[in-house]
Structure 1
């Protein structure tokens, strides 16, 4: 897991492949905030991203997920959230595949959390469990860009 702010990208110590994605001019916070909700994939690239609005809710109501084939970069465009996570690799644990490369865990202990607000991002490598969209003080709306980067690019 790596965390940082899109406006201070160099201090995030990202691997070159991830830095290359987030440092593109069209990935600036201002540019991403102007885009409509939807699916985006730059021409010729294997990675893609989704922009969407979601509601935060109490952690007890949120699922815990992980991925096996893609790394997530979750970038907050508007609002704030808490993401609970663990640094343990759970990729071999039994899980329900809700949709392609989205595995839901039933029983996992998440020992850490991070508060994210506008411009903040966090990466989750394959196997790292995370519980996104947990509310800060009360349920609210968060707008995010979630990048999906194939592990082959790492």
Structure 2
């Protein structure tokens, strides 16, 4: 997991070029489009722009991806994310729907709050619970979710 703010990307030397390029292209798309799915580099790199409302954390299931990295950027509003540092044991035992599986619960789940301009990166295999309301107050949210296939990542 990686936390950052879009105003400080030039100071973070360990963001891979494919990630940096996708973030910059997403911000340009977000300036002219409210919502929708847009290819940045075919099916390997794409972004989903969305407007939604946060939800009560207990109504959301943690999720995990096996092939795609998520870069989630809060464009307007604020959002809480649950996450687990520990790796999910035996991910193959979950019911996969494409690249997505829901995890019944996270051991040692922690939370972080992001505001407009903040972003969080979840690598394949890192469990997370997005869209959580802060202080159980349901509020509007505009965000971007960038998906990058693991084959595009270095190493």
Aligned to 1:103: 101
Alignment of 1:41-56 (within 5 A): 41-42=39-40, 46-56=44-54
| CA shift digits 1:77-111 (9 cap, x unpaired) | 111010010122226333222x3111101132243
Q: Equivalents in 1 of 2:104, 2:42: separation in Å? A: 37
2:9 is paired with a residue whose SS is helix
Displacement after TM superposition at 1:120 (Å): 0.6
Q: Equivalents in 1 of 2:43, 2:59: separation in Å? A: 35
CA 1:59–1:45: 2 relative to 1, 3 Å: closer
* Greater mean deviation of Cα atoms: 137-146 or 8-17: 8-17
1:60 is paired with a residue whose SS is helix
Displacement after TM superposition at 1:33 (Å): 4.0
2:126 is paired with a residue whose SS is coil
5+ long unaligned stretches in structure 1: none
Do 2:63 and 2:103's aligned partners in 1 also have CA atoms closer than 8 Å?
yes
5+ long unaligned stretches in structure 2: none
CA 1:45–1:101: 2 relative to 1, 3 Å: closer
Aligned to 2:22: 21
Aligned to 2:7: 7
